[in-house]
Amino acid sequence: MTSTKKVALVTGATGIQGRALISHLSKPDFGWDEIFAVSREPLDFDNRAKQLSFDMYDKEGAKYYEDYVIERRKKGAKWTWSSLRPGCIIGYSQGYMNLLHNIAVYGTLCKELGGLFRFPGTPVAYKVLLDCVDVDLLADAQIWLATHPQAQNDGYNISNGDQFRFQQLWPVLASWFKLDVGPSLRIPLTKFMPHHKDLWAFIVKKHNLKDIPFKKLAQWEFADAMFTVPSDEFGDVNKLRKAGYDKQRLYTEEVVLHKLDYLAKMKVIPKY
């Protein structure tokens, strides 16, 4: 009788998706025999992965059209593929495309400056319907997708299962920072934030936070894009549910508050 080893290869291992996926794979109850983590930087969290150093930035062409490239390459092969298509991901990581870090740093600066918590985007973006996904839910779904044959060779949308408006989320965020919500005011964060680099250094010392390089805290271009969305943006997740994965039952407001608590616990931002 032969047994099959469960081996996982995770690229972007220190990114918002990669670190969550490796953390889940490292849990004993998932039963993975080997985990290989591809990353340029060392893993700074508990895991049992073997790290492979490789610069993925010298390759281009990985977006949704990657599905079509993979489909062509797999013809006649024994392996299968599947993919998830999240919108905004809510979780912990340094660097790119992490709305939570943008909000966390912006809210902290508003608190320290003693001002109001203003939505820095456009009036339209304040009211559009959006969706996002808890990074832990995403990691769980990735593992499920890779181990269930009925979901192979296809792509799926994924989200928490609800939609939100910044108009509704902003007062919830303000309450976490113990701030009052002010009128919306368009503030390009790519221009606003660099002027507060020294203030952030002061906040780090004042609250004994992790000394993360300011440019790695958040990507303000991504924040500006999210805060100026011109229309509703959310995906239909019924296809994934029909395939058999039905854990998309989270409330985004609760997810965001939980993740802010986690950032405070990790000493990325203060707990007010």
Catalytic residue numbers read 64
187, 228 Cβ separation under 8 angstroms: no
Helix (H) or strand (E) holding 126: helix 123-127
- Inter-CA distances, 160 with 72, 137, 173, Å: 31, 8, 18
Any residues with CB less than 8 A from the CB of 101 and at least 6 apart, and which?
92, 93, 94, 217, 218, 263, 268
Q: How far apart are CA 4 and CA 32, in angstroms?
A: 11
User: Which amino acid is it at 48?
Assistant: R
Nearest to 133 by CA among 249, 1, 245, 243: 249
Q: How far apart are CA 101 and CA 90, in angstroms?
A: 9
The 10 Å CB-count burial string (b at 16+, else e) for 81-106 is bbebebbbbbbbbbbebbbbbbbbbb
179, 111 Cβ separation under 8 angstroms: yes
